């Protein structure tokens, strides 16, 4: 019979590794961001949709390409983000491996640490021809308020013009 301490340690190691394996992409990105002085991010339905569309388009064409569906600025505009970035990758069978590759790349790391980001979307799709898995991550923050110079006034929110968005239907914050 094993001593209780060995059994307890075995359970801690088992459940500790299970919980790490079950972490969501947002939790894994948040953990990395917190270690580097940035705040947590939460999954965002609109960013998830944008990431999924990007991953599917790359998989369909079997090409790693930020512009496969058009410019990033046009694709990210439905998210209403003040600042946003995108990471893409292919060939990794798990998000954990993909995230590791992004962390090891200076430009991808910079995007993961986007200052004041609060939302993220992550998706993958597999090419039917090469069987490669394509990944896309969209990360975004809110619009930052303008700084008001001494003596100048900022228009009220009601008076500001906001970009018109034509939607046929809106479900869970996703514009269709």
pLDDT at 150: 57
pLDDT at 171: 61
pLDDT at 16: 45
Residue partners of 134: CB distance under 8 A and separation at least 6:
55, 58, 59, 64, 88, 89, 90, 124, 125, 126, 127
Per-residue pLDDT of the chain (176 residues; tens, 9 = 90+): 445 443 433 433 444 444 445 689 999 999 999 999 999 999 999 999 999 999 999 999 999 999 999 999 999 999 988 899 999 999 999 999 999 999 999 999 999 999 999 999 999 999 999 999 999 999 999 865 545 555 555 444 444 344 444 555 656 556 55
3-state secondary structure of 138: strand
Beta bridge partners of 125: 134
pLDDT at 18: 43
pLDDT at 8: 38
pLDDT at 142: 81
pLDDT at 22: 64
| Exposure class string for 126-155: b at 16+ Cβ within 10 A, else e | ebeeeebbbbbbbbbbeeeeeeeeeeeeee
| pTM, two decimal places | 0.70
pLDDT at 68: 96
- What are the structural domains of the chain? 25-142 (3.40.33.10)
Q: What are the structure tokens assigned to 114, written together?
A: 């986007």
């Amino acid at each position: 019979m094993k001593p209780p301490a060995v059994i307890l340690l075995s359970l801690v190691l088992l459940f500790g590794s299970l919980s790490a394996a079950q972490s969501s992409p947002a939790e894994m990105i948040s953990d990395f961001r917190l270690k580097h002085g940035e705040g947590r991010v939460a999954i965002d339905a609109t960013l998830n949709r944008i990431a999924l569309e990007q991953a599917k388009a790359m998989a369909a064409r079997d090409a790693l390409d930020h512009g496969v569906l058009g410019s990033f600025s046009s694709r990210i505009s439905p998210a209403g983000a003040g600042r946003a970035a995108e990471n893409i990758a292919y060939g990794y069978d798990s998000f954990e491996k993909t995230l590791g590759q992004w962390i090891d790349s200076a430009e991808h790391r910079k995007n993961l640490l986007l200052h004041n980001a609060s939302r993220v979307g992550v998706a993958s799709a597999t090419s039917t021809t090469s069987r490669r898995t394509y990944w896309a991550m969209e990360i975004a923050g809110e619009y930052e308020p303008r700084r008001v110079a001494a003596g100048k006034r900022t228009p009220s929110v009601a008076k500001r013009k906001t970009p018109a968005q034509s939607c046929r239907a809106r479900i869970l914050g996703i514009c269709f």
